[in-house]
Structure 1
Amino acid sequence: MISLRFLQCIGASKMVTQASSAMIFPAVSGEVFGFQNCPPPLLQKNRNFHSISGTPAASLYIQKHPLFHSQKSPFLLDSRAEFQSIGLFDFGRRWNSCSILPAHTPNVSNVSRFLNQQWNRSFSTTQAACADVHVTVMDGKPLPDGHAASRISRMDRIDAQNALFEYLHGTRSLHFTDAEHMSKNSPVFLQNLIAKVENEPDVGRSLTRFLRYHPINEFEPFFESLGLKPSELYPLLPRNLMFLSDDDVLLNNYHGLCNYGVPRSKIGKMYKEGTEMFRYGYGILLSKLQAYEKLGLTKPTIIKLVTCCPELLIGDVNVEFLRVLEKLKSLGVELDWIRGCLSDKSMYNWSRILEMLNFLDRMGCNKKILARLIKEHPRFIFDDSGKKIYILVAMLLKLGLKMNDILTLFVQYPRILIGNFTKNLWKSVQFLADIGMETEDIARIVASHAQVLGSCSCKRPKVVLGSLKISPEKLCEIIKEDPSQFSNLASRKKVGIVNLPRVDGTFLQEKTNFLLKLGFVENSDEMAKALCKFRGRGDQLQERFDCLVNAGFDYHTVSDMIKLVPSILNQSTDIIEKKIDYLLNHLDYSLESLAAFPTFLCYNTDKIKLRFSMYNWLKEQGVVIPTKNRKIIRSTVALSTILACSDARFVKYFVDLHSEGPKVWERLKSSVSSS
């Protein structure tokens, strides 16, 4: 028995040696593993090679080994199914790090030392060629899409960014702007990089030393910095390349887009949806962009177009897109207006948009009313590529409404195209038809109370009639006498009527003019979001803006503050003045601190007083504020440090610094709430 056990251990040691000689562990990102079918001497001679994919040969070799099938194996895992699920990479790593080998196993020290050598002999890899190879992180779990597994301090992150920048720019000679953007906009890759030296006291210096001997796959931080998630970028990684400088065609087209003005964070979506454009020869991509300029489009409009619809740069010019432009031009709509109608979060079908415009034309639509509707409500034809409006118009025409009446309805209630309105309206019309209401009466109710019918989802007629215990004829009479009761009678949820107010052109224009003064682009996504966040008339917003300027801020500084936090203008001038006075005269902060953290004006006054009263008490007690490497007493801290954290974090990092802190905190809360 002893001899048999001894022979098994010798065979296992030989098996590990043979399997490990073909094993290459990931160096930096730790996401993808691979095997290379080449003899061990070749691997030893040429260590700096790039593994491409995992071949099942090595895994199959271990699974077929008699020791793996032996139930008496000293290092058998819980089940062979688990072994197959974690793969050879995890098997080797867990063997080494999780003490799968029992202490009494012969040659365990030699095996562990050999696996450690294999771990250090590692280089970054690209995607796996086999479909069954999984992307894993250091703990064997799926790679997160932008959420770090463990919290990293700000200083460690900055040090890591600097180390990565120095490697990319200084060692790899990438352009300064490319290296800087990659180092500051690839958080998941940076997280995996820091994990390599997480136990080192000086992250920056340790990473610099690590990168000196461990080259990385530069395409990973490159694609992540372009706005792609790790789960999106791995299928796009080139197979036999790991250095960006080796793909000069990609870099030339990338720099061409950057020089034209395309935001780097949008180029990732363009690469994902239109990889072909990044294989164009020198100057071809620029010529395609300039071709759209010849159509009369300005550069900002073209940039928005190609980021939302990358397919416009692939192949020949999109004929349907050109016809849409011609159609809008015939209605008197400026071509650059299209910029504010597009969003890079949506997909656009130019053929369907063109079909919808032609449909409205065939129905005898008044061009002046249609042009006005398109100009005032630009998402009229672009949301869902016109599908929603196409269905709604067809339904209303079937009810007997005339085209001009439908367009007038849209002008009066432009929000009826938002959310599930079309679906709810269709179900409500079907409900009225099922209870026997005449088509003329349905059309009259739709024309006068469209917002009531589309504001909620209705129940089935049988359910409503059964709960009310009335006949269909009686229900028809009730709804015809007072259509506003429909939502109370038939709605699935007993809620009040969602009134969609008519658009007051004067107030809307005042708000629009105010935003244009601040530098917003007309009809842009940013302007649409700001219009939703601002409350009050345009003259009130201007008055609050002037209040901030009169407090001592520069005009451009106030503009930047409002763009960053639009809600600060939702408060009256009196409240704004009181908060600024309290900040300057009671807390002894400067206007510069408010410019750096304009959200201060959005916090409740009681919360501001409570937090800073507690902080001032801690200063009086001489409590030191812990930082990364030392403890210092600060006279002031950033406003965001005091206010931006939750109550639980404030108690943990401030109140609990003093033994009497919790008692004082409760006393201050009582005094502030009672005052």
Structure 2
Amino acid sequence: MFPFRKLHAQCSFFLLKPCQNPRLQSTKSATKFAGKATLKEAQAALLEYLHSTRSLNFLDADNMCRNSPSFIQDLLAKTHSHTPHVNTKRSISRYLRYHPINEFEPFFESAGLSPSEYAPLLPSHMIYLNDDVVLMENHKALCNFGVPRTKMGRVFKLAPQVFRYKPGILISKLQEYENLGVSRKTLINVVASNPCILVGGVDFDFVKVFEMLKSVIGKDCDWIGEHLLINKGCCNWRVMFHVLTLLSRVFNEKQLGDLITSSPGLIFEESGGCALSLIGFLLKFGLSVNRVCVMLHEFPEIRIVKFLSNLRLCFLFLTEIEMEASEIGRILQSHCLVLGSFTIKRTITLLTNLNVGKKRLCKVVKDDPLVMKSWALGRRIEPLVNSYLECESKALKKEFMLSLGYEENSKAMNESIKLFRGRGAELQERLDFIVNAGLDYEVVCKMIRESPRILSQTTDRINMKIESLVNEGYAMSDLASFPSFLSYSAQRVKLRFSMYNWLKKHGAAEAGLALSTIIACSDKAFEKMYVNRHPSGLQVWRDLKAQISSMA
């Protein structure tokens, strides 16, 4: 009998939905969305392998499993591609049985390093941790001393030679610091954040800094380690000691303790180098020592390096707007705390957005230095309020527009004012010039209302265009019917009249064409309607255009 049940079972496999069919699930989706249960199974399988099979210390193996997420995800991806239908723990156990891993990868990652950071540290000739006896002995020594396994990343990164010491040397170095009075808790925090004190001989500058901090703060300095993490590299304890010595000359112990507690970045950022640069910068611009001390006590909640950078940007801005050195010094002396608390925009950006020149901007800053705070990055900048002369000119323009018959503050009036170029006092002068050329005052007012741009030109340009109009045989009444004539460029007017005269001479255009007909249309339309009427017209048009352009 035909095995129908078996056939049905085989066919049902192909009837599964994509989400139900394991063969259609990608490795990427399977690992990307791995749940907590899957991760726990993977960690358990890896722990069993590292501790039971590879005989690693249980605490080391457990730390490697719990704190190496990138390695676990890669392992899940690899095992899923080999055995996709098997339980996660069994799948990983089977994979590890035949595919040995590089144990240094989860070891370094669990110490706090990212894959890109630990890649240069991977040995080229071994993959098993127990093969590097010296490394594991020194690692064990630090762990037994109290340094957390998850915080040894900076030790590997900044002082890898620590893990190449012969047996007993590392412990002896740590004991030397303890014998000099450094508490074990402080030493653990400092080693985890600044392991360079274990390189070479005893760093007596570190011991001096520790003793000074302990004396001025009045308690143990267990908190030193967390502030040392500000620096990417090793701390320069000698520079830090110099900064503390300098500050101790102007502050008593209580004041210095309060200062360090409120602004620890003064001595910890770049080992105090930023504080030295800031003090030197302020002294250079004339601040007294007492004024610097007051400024340090009132220091805002901002990193020293950022504060110094902001001050330098403000100094650069004041220099670029060509302010006098004495004025720059005065502003920095009186407003250094404010200027260092924000980042000012670039000079070219301010000049553009404020719509001012350097001279006026310089005057604005002199009158009120605190206005610079409104020009900080991230803030919207509005153009500066017009000066007295600009306000007066705008008032004269309004008065002039009212005399032409505009309604006060109407839309037409405001739009026309924007079209006028020049000062308000010049508008009446240009109107009078057109009236004196032979037109009635009311007619000229009507012309201006129809085409406000005609008053945006100087009287010399207006005179030149009127003369060319009269020389071509047109009357001033023609100008009244086409006031926009005065808005066109002199080159356009000359080119059109020259071509029109040539066409009339050769019988290709009738005399007496309206002024707007000759001037207002585009070049393309003029060519089509008039220039192409004569066989040589296009060539003459091009020659005239080149000749007039070269004379401009």
Query: Which residue number corresponds to residue 94 of structure 1?
Result: none
Give yes or no for contact 1:388–1:417 (8 Å, CA) kept in 2. Answer: no
Change (3 A) 1:477 1:285: same
Greater Cα radius of gyration, structure 1 or 2: 2
**What corresponds to 1:394 in structure 2?**
280
Other-structure match for 1:372: 258
| Kept in 1: contact 2:51–2:57 (CA 8 A) | yes
Query: Structure 2: how far apart are the matches of 1:353 and 1:178?
Result: 36
Distance 1:228 1:202 in 2: 30
Which residue of structure 1 lines up, in the alignment, with residue 190 of structure 2? 305
- Closer, same or farther in 2 for the Cα pair 1:188/1:448, shift >3 Å? closer
Corresponding residue for 1:283? Answer: 168
Query: Is the Cα–Cα contact under 8 Å of residues 159 and 204 in structure 1 kept in the other structure?
Result: yes
Structure 1 runs not aligned, ≥5 long = 1-138, 497-675
How many residues align? The count is 349
Whether 1:346 aligns to 2:232 is yes
The answer as to whether partners of 1:401 and 1:443 remain within 8 angstroms in 2 is: no
Residue equivalent to 1:486: 372
Deviation by residue 1:311-349 (Cα, 9 ceiling, x = unmatched): 111221124323433554675665515345322763322
Q: Which amino acid aligns with 1:455?
A: F
Change (3 A) 1:202 1:426: same
Q: Shift of the alpha carbon at 1:486? A: 2.4
Query: Is the contact between residue 424 and residue 458 of structure 1 (CA under 8 Å) also seen in structure 2?
Result: no
SS in structure 2 opposite 1:381?
A: helix
In 2, Cα distance between equivalents of 1:206 and 1:486: 65
Distance apart, 1:419 and its partner CA: 6.0
Percent of pairs identical after alignment? 38
Cα distance in structure 2, aligned partners of 1:214 and 1:154 = 25
Distance 1:239 1:203, change over 3 A: same
Alignment of 1:416-427 (within 5 A): 416-418=302-304, 420-427=306-313
Selected match of 1:162 from 28, 44, 48: 44
Asked whether the 8 Å contact 1:321–1:350 carries over to 2, the reply is yes
Deviation at 1:184, TM superposition (A): 2.1
Q: How far 1:271 moved relative to its partner?
A: 1.9
Equivalent positions of 1:311-350 (< 5 A) are 311-328=196-213, 331=216, 334=219, 336=221, 338-343=224-229, 346-347=232-233, 348-350=235-237
The answer to whether the 8 Å contact 1:277/1:313 transfers is yes
Deviation at 1:481, TM superposition (A): 4.1
Q: 2:62 aligns with which of 158, 163, 180?
A: 180
Which range moves more in the overlay, 299-308 or 459-468? Answer: 459-468
Alignment partner of 2:126 out of 226, 229, 241: 241
Instruction: Give SS of 1:242's match.
Output: coil
Deviates more, 1:423-432 or 1:312-321: 423-432
Contact 1:168–1:174 (Cα < 8 Å) also in 2 = yes
2:126, 2:268 → 1: CA distance?
40
The 1-side partners of 2:137 and 2:207 are apart by 28
Correspondent of 1:451 among 335, 338, 351 = 338
Alignment of 1:86-125 (within 5 A): none
Determine which of 244, 265, 270 is the counterpart of 1:384: 270
User: Is the 2:260–2:267 Cα contact (8 Å) retained in structure 1?
Assistant: yes
Shift of the 340–171 alpha-carbon distance from structure 1 to 2, 3 Å rule, reads closer
Cα drift, residue 270 of structure 1: 0.9
Aligned with 2:152 (options 258, 267, 284): 267
- Residue in structure 2 matched with residue 195 of structure 1 by the alignment: 77
On the 8 A contact 2:206/2:237 being kept in 1, the answer is yes
In the alignment, residue 297 of structure 1 is paired with which amino acid?
V
1:14 counterpart residue number: none
Would the aligned equivalents of 1:258 and 1:264 in 2 still touch at CA under 8 Å?
yes
AA paired with 2:258?
Answer: R
d(CA) in 1 for partners of 2:168, 2:216: 35
Q: Distance in 2 between matches of 1:294 and 1:419?
A: 35
Partner of 1:654: none
Aligned to 1:522: none
- Find the aligned partners of 1:157 and 1:430 in 2 and give their Cα distance: 54
- When residues 493 and 246 of structure 1 are mapped into structure 2, their CA distance, relative to the original with a 3 A threshold, is closer
| 8 A Cα contact 1:429 1:442, kept in partner | no
SS at match of 1:420: helix
Match of 2:539 in 1: none
Contact map agreement 2:274 2:305 (CA 8 A) in 1 = no
1:97-122 per-residue CA deviation (whole Å, 9 max, x = no partner) reads xxxxxxxxxxxxxxxxxxxxxxxxxx
Deviation, structure 1 residue 448:
4.2
Alignment CA distance shift 1:161-1:483 (3 Å): same
Report the equivalent of 1:230: 115
Give structure 2 stretches of 5+ with no counterpart: 1-26, 382-552
Task: Give the deviation of 1:180 after TM superposition.
Answer: 1.6
Q: 1:325 to 1:166 in 2, by over 3 A?
A: closer
Task: Give the drift of 1:360.
Answer: 4.7
Determine whether 1:403 maps to 2:289. yes
**Aligned partners of 1:183 and 1:463: how far apart in 2?**
55
| Aligned-pair CA distance for 1:466 | 9.9
Alpha carbon RMSD of aligned pairs, Å? 3.5
Q: Paired residue for 1:216? A: 101
Using a 3 Å threshold, how does the CA distance of structure 1 residues 339 and 232 change in structure 2: closer, same or farther?
Answer: closer
| Distance 1:402-1:333 versus aligned 2 partners, 3 A rule | farther
SS of structure 1 residue aligned to 2:152: helix
d(CA) in 2 for partners of 1:209 and 1:494?
Answer: 60
- Quote the residue 1:295 is aligned against: 180
> Measured at CA, do residues 491 and 275 of structure 1 come closer, stay the same or move farther in structure 2, by a change above 3 Å?
closer
- Cα distance in 1 for partners of 2:204, 2:316 equals 39
Q: Residues 308 and 344 of structure 1 are in contact (CA less than 8 Å); yes or no, is this contact kept in structure 2?
A: no
Aligned to 2:521: none
Q: How big is each residue's C-alpha offset from its partner over 1:333-377, in whole Å with a ceiling of 9 and x where there is no partner? A: 65515345322763322233234345556xx53345444311332
- In 1, are the aligned partners of 2:308 and 2:340 still within 8 Å (CA)? no
From 302, 323, 329, give the equivalent of 1:436. Answer: 323
Aligned mates of 2:334, 2:292 — CA distance in 1: 8
| Cα distance, 1:469–1:281 mapped onto 2, change above 3 Å | closer
Determine the C-alpha separation between the residues in 1 that align with 2:372 and 2:119.
53
1:256 corresponds in structure 2 to 141
For the Cα contact (< 8 Å) 1:226–1:268, is it kept in 2?
A: yes
Once the two structures are TM-superposed, the CA of residue 159 in structure 1 deviates from its matched residue by: 1.6
Pair 1:196–1:430, CA change in 2 (3 A): closer
Looking at both structures, which has the greater relative contact order when contacts are Cα pairs under 8 Å and sequence separation is at least 6?
Answer: 1
SS in 2 for 1:382: helix
Q: Give me the whole-angstrom Cα distance separating, in 2, the residues matched to 1:200 and 1:355.
A: 65
Cα gap change, 1:478/1:265 in structure 2, threshold over 3 Å: closer, same or farther?
A: same
Residue 286 (structure 1) shift: 1.8
